[in-house]
Chain A
Amino acid sequence: MATTYIVDKDGNQIDASSATVPSDRHFRGAWSLSGSVISEDMTAAKVIFKDKIREVRAPLLDAEDVVYMKALEADDADAKAASVTKKGKLRDAPAASAITNADTIAKLKAAWDTSVLGDSPYA
């Protein structure tokens, strides 16, 4: 049977059979090897987390553009304001303080704002 190797974010390699690895691969690109233990580098994990937010929010922003245009056509001030607020929250989502302050992977996953972004991919 073929030997399996794991390479971390810095290119360090270890035989998978002798390594301790994180329990899931959500932040695989942030894996960092120290001795025989692989753990997630929080700085790199936050970059991955923010990229996922940007990926998820893209279609939501597109949809909100439609909502805003309809409100504009209807000259509905309340609907326009609501849409502007929602788009603002989507734009600000990657800059949330909960992400900045997260010092564990569990806290980072919990920083996913379901009220703005919908279901968490980390649930």
Chain B
Amino acid sequence: MALTKIGKEGITGISNSSDATFLTVDSSEQAVIKSEGGAVTTSLQQGLAKAWVNFNGAGTIATRDSLGVSGLTDTTTGSYAVAFTNSFANTNYAGSAGLCGFSDAGGESNSPVVMLTRSQSNPFTTGDIDIITAQRIGTAISFADPEYVAISANGDLA
């Protein structure tokens, strides 16, 4: 592995033993890396999850592990807010969530429901995501607290 050039314009190429450049950092500190197949390049910053958290939403709410998350708020049954350590540049980032592990009758054999919500027009703010979780048992859907909730957010930090 060889660092080929460092100048005021940035690191223009870091290559491997075959002299193939696999990382470039331009003068605006944007890192570009080669794809796995080597055919294209992709932005390193754009590909990173900027925040993620895995928490217990039942019993005593508790974070198992997280990155870029400053706070977790237990709002009410099946309702949580995840605050980011660093705000996003805008509300166009992509948040996603998953859950499992309800304690109510039926448990995991029934359908878990998770929604990212702030309002009907836009579920996100730059500083946090609100989520609600529910469980469908038969034809009834009701808010419920799952044991496992995982959330991640990808996008542009401020």
Residues of A within 8 A of B (CB): 1-7, 9, 13, 16, 21, 24-25, 28-29, 31, 52, 55, 58-59, 119, 121
- In the complex, residue of chain A having the shortest beta-carbon distance to the beta carbon of B82: A2
CB contacts (< 8 Å) of A55 on chain B: these are 140, 142
The B interface is mostly helix, strand or loop, or mixed, namely strand
- List 9 other contacts, CB 8 Å, given A5-B72, A29-B76, A59-B140: A2-B66, A4-B61, A5-B74, A7-B76, A9-B76, A25-B59, A29-B77, A52-B142, A59-B138
Question: What is the total of A-B residue contacts with beta carbons within 8 Å?
Answer: 60
**Interface: B98 (CB within 8 A):** no
In the complex the two chains form, is A121's CB within 8 Å of B104's CB? Answer: yes
**Interface: B86 (CB within 8 A):** no
The A interface is mostly helix, strand or loop, or mixed, namely mixed
In the complex the two chains form, is B71's CB within 8 Å of A4's CB? Answer: yes
| Chain B 73-97 residues near chain A, CB threshold 8 A | 73-77, 82-83
CB contacts (< 8 Å) of B53 on chain A: these are 2
In the complex the two chains form, is B66's CB within 8 Å of A7's CB? Answer: no
